[in-house]
Amino acid sequence: MKRYLGVLIPAVGFIVSAGIAAWLIGVYAPWYRLPYLVQTHEIVLRLVIALILCLLIAVLVVGARALVDRRGRFNRELLALALAPVLPAGLEIYNGVQGSRYFLINSNIVTFADRAPPLIEASSVAAFAFFVAALAMSFRLLGGRGR
């Protein structure tokens, strides 16, 4: 049961953060599309997305090797790859929330629709990081069953 918790926690995090992003896009910013997330001028966001994409490729490669091996040799690597997106995604979430608060501090805008784009970026990056973590933990669960 403990092994399934390692997959369940990031999967629930992915569902919640992707649901928040979808809700924010649907209600407050229907014009917002996923390419806007990558075409931003914020270098931190671009670096975080590039780092998480590299981690996704590493998870797929190590996960494929773990599925072929099935002896649990890659459990540590997959656990490290599952925990790796936490710090950069946390940095971007903090940056997005602070960017949202910037509108409240420096302007008279109090509508939530004007604060939504930085929150959409933050929740999208969180969903992406949780997806990578859930995928790594799934490979760890499936590849760790030895004979």
How many residues make up the chain in this entry? Answer: 147
The per-residue DSSP string of 87-142 comes to HHHHHHHHHHHHHHHHHHHHSS---HHHHHHHHHHHHHHHHHHHHHHHHHHHHHHH
Mean pLDDT of 50-58: 93
Residue 19 pLDDT greater than 90, yes or no: yes
From CA 30, how far away is CA 35, in angstroms rounded?
A: 14
CB 58 within 8 A of CB 133: no
From CA 147, how far away is CA 123, in angstroms rounded?
A: 40
Residue 137 pLDDT greater than 80, yes or no: yes
Number of domains in the chain: 1
Mean pLDDT of 63-70: 88
Q: Can you give the pTM of this predicted structure?
A: 0.87
Nearest by Cα to 117 from 35, 21, 49, 53: 21
Domain that holds residue 77: 2-143
SS3 28: helix
Q: Which residues contact 51 (CB under 8 A, 6 or more apart)?
A: 85, 88
- Lowest mean pLDDT of 97-101, 107-111, 140-144, name the range: 107-111
Q: Which of 68-72, 94-98, 117-121, 132-136 has the highest mean pLDDT?
A: 132-136
Residue 10 structure tokens: 């990031």
CB 75 within 8 A of CB 140: yes
Percent of the chain with pLDDT over 70: 94
